[in-house]
Structures are given as structure tokens and as C-alpha cells.
Amino acid sequence: MELENGVQRWIVDISNWNPSPHCFSFAMSFLPNHEYSSITRFVELEDQKRALVSRLLQYALVHQVLGIPFDEIIIRRTPEGKPYLVCDNMKLAFPNFNFNASHHGDYVAIASEPICLVGLDIVSHSVPKNETAYEFVQNFSSYFSSSEWNHIMHAGSSDEMLHIFYRYWCLKEAFVKAMGTGVGYKLDDVEFHHMNWNNIFVEVAGKELKDWKFWLLDLGRNHSLEANRGLPLRVTEQR
């Protein structure tokens, strides 16, 4: 099997999907019973839709890429929430196959890699309701480097400030998701650089990670998506 088959990027727009209770239950029936609570724990239907589609994409991707029958797929999650395939008794074509999923707003997405770590995040650019853009962004100031924060604070308008903030947040979230560490990671040590949001690279504690690549996209109305891939830090640090 060629390595390219393990590189997948799928995005689903769920904004126009309004399933009846019967259709929703039918779609959920394709999943193992232990996944149900991760969907029904949400009160709002929109949250349940995102959770359901995310789970379905994970099983569909593993089935398509690795050829494992649906009823033999076992997906668990690390304490930080990163999904992984349980394959103790399987000989996989891609021994380091890993995937990452994200959902927010109108979109659900998944990405996979056969060798590298993969990270993915979607952010809906919501407008704060009970505070100004400046007040909202200030709540997250400790998560940004001085360079990133300066870029955010010198935006030309409140809308632009939010747009820049959400882009940086999307980059950081996707990176720590690839690492499997969650937002407990010292995010101000993770500093992103770019040329007008192109040629993006990251420095961790002042050291550039040259083996990582980043793709930042705008989706639909006011959504950002970031996908990345790279080698684990412990590998790059040994070079």
C-alpha cells in the first residue's frame, strides 16, 4: 500500500443537515454502543450532530484507509482526548498511522497521516456578546508570545483583531492536538511565524521545528481550519 493512501483530509459541512430523530438514530447505529454517550451527553442538537459526524468520520476513515471492517475497529482516546486506533493484534500497512478530528460551528473535519503526527483544528469566528473584542481577547493573553500578541493588538479593527486571534488560536490548538498534549501545554512557548499567513513555521521555546508543515485555510463564513504534520519533538531534538 502506498504511503499517499494514508494521507487523508476530509471536511463535512453540516449546516444544512437537519435529521429527523429516526435518521439521527439510524446514523448513530453504525457506531459501537460505547460511543453513544459521547454524543448523547450533549443537550443541544447542533452539538450532537457535530459529535456524531466526527465519530462516523473516524470509523469511515480507518475502514477506507486500512480496510478494517467496521465491527472490528476499536478507537480509544488518550487522557487528553486524542483518538487512536487499538491495533494490538493487527499487522497494519502503516504502523504509525494516526488521525485527528475537529468540529466547530458548521464544519466537522478529519485528517490522517501514515508516518508523521497529524494535528487538526477548526475554529468558528464567533463574536463576543457581553464584552468587547478587546476584552474577550484579553482573557487569552497568557497563551500568546509577545510577537503574536503584538500582531493581535495592532489589528486595524475589532473584526480584524478577532480574525487574527482566531487564526493564531487555531494554529496553536492544532499543534498541541498533534502532540496529544491538549491546552495544558505551555502555549506561549509555541510561537508561530508567517508571511501574511503563508510559509508558516513554529518555534518551541525559541527553537524552530523544521520538520513540521502547516496549512491554514478559511472555510465558509467565518471559520478557520488548520492542519499540520511533523515528527515528534523527541525525534527532532535528537538530531
* The total number of structural domains that make up the chain: 2
Q: Is 239 within a domain?
A: no
CB-CB neighbours of 154 under 10 Å: 10
∠ Cα 70 62 176 (to 5°): 135
pLDDT one digit per residue (tens) for the chain, 239 residues: 577 889 999 999 999 999 999 999 999 999 999 999 999 999 999 999 999 999 999 999 999 999 999 989 999 988 888 889 988 767 777 878 999 999 999 999 999 999 999 999 999 999 999 999 999 999 999 999 999 999 999 998 999 999 999 999 999 999 999 988 765 567 889 999 999 999 999 999 999 999 999 999 999 879 999 999 998 765 444 33
**Are 101 and 134 members of one domain?**
no
**Are 32 and 84 members of one domain?**
yes
Specify the CATH number for the domain of residue 183.
3.90.470.20
Q: Which domain holds residue 77?
A: 3-115
Question: Whole-prediction pTM value?
Answer: 0.91
Q: Is 120 within a domain?
A: no
Last residue of a domain, one of 115, 138, 168: 115
**Are 111 and 131 members of one domain?**
no
User: What is the rounded CA–CA span in Å between residue 85 and residue 110?
Assistant: 14
Q: Is 184 within a domain?
A: yes
User: What is the rounded CA–CA span in Å between residue 160 and residue 180?
Assistant: 30
